[in-house]
Amino acid sequence: MSRVGKKPIRIPDNTKINIEGDKLVVKGAKGELCQIIHSEIDLDIKDNYIKVGISNNRRTNRALQGLTRSLIANMVTGVTKGFERVLEINGIGYRATLSGNSIIFNLGYSHPINFELPKGVNAKVAKNNNITLTCIDKEQLGHTAAAIRRLRPPEPYKGKGIKYAGERLIKKAGKSGAK
């Protein structure tokens, strides 16, 4: 059995969980999330805890148990606290501005890039070079942050571009040249 899958998930007081057939609905203070649960997975809700079980001990079911437990834990965390991802823009003249539900990037190209934020993802831009993305769905937040980073990934010589906060870049040495 999966070590992760065996751990019970604590349900906070202000969170409600409903199982409708193979669909799990989690409602909390920040919103509502839905997830389809595999037919081999058994969910047991008792005393403000959810336990994820499996019908038989096959390898794929053990993997699904850990995956399902992680997805449900992320849903519970998302509707209670939410998730946050911070991106940093490095480079002279590189900046971002928030305009309604989109972010306008100037990243050294001949044109500004207009990035539309997906529904449910909120952004704040501080000092034109720090972007804070917030969302209740961890998967959607990660996809959005990766799409923004893909607009101008950090280059290996000077580190110019968009990177995650706390990401370590390994810089290459430039040309040695004759001295």
DSSP string of 152-173, one letter each residue: SPPPTTT--EEEETTPPP-PPP
What's the whole-model pTM score? Answer: 0.87
> What tokens appear for 84 in the block?
């946050």
Length of the chain measured in residues = 179
- What's the pLDDT score for residue 177? 67
Contact 72, 35 (CB under 8 A): yes
User: Tokens standing for 20?
Assistant: 């409708």
CB atoms closer than 10 angstroms to residue 1: 12
**What confidence score (pLDDT) does residue 103 get?**
95
**How confident is the model over 131-144, as pLDDT tens digits?**
999 999 999 999 99
Q: What percent of the chain has pLDDT over 70?
A: 97
Residues of the chain with pLDDT under 70: 1-2, 177-179
Tokens of 79: 């509707």
Among 165, 81, 82, 156, residue whose Cα is nearest residue 127: 165
Please say whether the beta carbons of 91 and 107 come within 8 A: yes
Instruction: Give Cα 108 to chain centroid, integer Å.
Output: 27
In this structure, the number of other CB atoms found within 10 A of the CB of residue 122 comes to 15
